[in-house]
């Protein structure tokens, strides 16, 4: 009986070790031949989280989510022109950041967050990154937003988790965002 218990515990320990090593291992996801990212294997594609997103992956069990929205540069230029914002908002990453931040309630980035954006580079692309914790739909959420200027496209990479899981999921969020690569 004692020997069976030792074998059972050893087997369960080995299984737990193997399972924990593989679940965070990333896999490469290519989206619309536009960009690719390294997404942990435990996250699954989601279609119903945001219809406008090019890519959405989630793990409800770990409360970890990532989505990418992309806008053609000419569409951003058109929005600026149609709204008589020429000369007020540039047609570059700073201008894109201002447009995204001006739509409070529609995006994770709000006008008060614009001053907190940090300049960065993600795989050779100009980026602006911001993270915050706030209540969204009554739930405390930690999120990180990367606004990225591609060749002919602007991207929003948004990753989030419950505020209480920021420490546990923070490194994964950073790895996911920093894996973004335009094709």
High-pLDDT (> 90) share of the chain, %: 50
Residue 84's pLDDT is what? 65
pLDDT score of 171 more than 50: yes
Q: Report the pLDDT averaged over residues 121-140.
A: 91
High-pLDDT (> 70) share of the chain, %: 76
Write the CA distances from 143 to 9, 32, 64, 127, 178, integer angstroms.
38, 25, 10, 16, 14
Name the more confident of 181 and 77: 181
Reduced 3-state DSSP string for 76-91: HHHHHHHCCCCCCCCC
CB within 8 Å of 84: residues ≥ 6 apart: none
Given strand 26-31, what is the order of strands in its sheet? 26-31, 35-40, 181-182
Helix, strand, coil share of the chain (percent; to 5): 35, 40, 25
pLDDT in tens, 131-147: 888 888 888 999 999 99
pLDDT score of 17 more than 80: no
The beta-strand segments (E) located in 21-63 are 26-31, 35-40, 44-45, 55-59
pLDDT in tens, 41-100: 999 999 887 888 999 999 999 999 999 999 988 877 777 777 767 667 667 787 777 777
How far is 121 from 128, CA to CA, in rounded Å?
8
Counted residue by residue, the chain has a size of: 183
First to last CA, the chain: 58
pLDDT score of 19 more than 60: no
pLDDT score of 5 more than 50: no
pTM score: 0.80
């Amino acid at each position: 009986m004692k020997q069976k218990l030792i074998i059972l515990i050893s087997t369960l320990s080995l299984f737990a070790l193997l399972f924990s090593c593989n679940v965070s291992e990333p896999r490469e996801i290519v989206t619309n031949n536009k960009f690719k990212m390294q997404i942990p294997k435990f996250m699954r594609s989601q279609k119903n989280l945001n219809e406008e997103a090019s890519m959405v992956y989630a793990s409800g069990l770990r409360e970890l989510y990532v989505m990418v929205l992309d806008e053609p540069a000419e569409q951003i230029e058109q929005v600026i022109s149609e709204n008589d914002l020429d000369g007020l908002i540039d047609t570059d990453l700073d201008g894109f950041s201002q447009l995204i931040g001006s739509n409070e309630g529609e995006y994770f980035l709000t006008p008060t967050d614009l001053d907190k954006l940090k300049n960065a580079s993600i795989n050779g692309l100009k980026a602006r990154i911001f993270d915050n914790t706030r209540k969204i739909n009554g739930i405390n959420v930690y999120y990180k937003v990367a606004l990225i200027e591609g060749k002919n496209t602007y991207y929003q990479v948004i990753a989030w988790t419950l505020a209480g899981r920021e420490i546990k999921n923070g490194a994964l969020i950073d790895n996911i965002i920093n894996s973004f690569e335009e094709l």
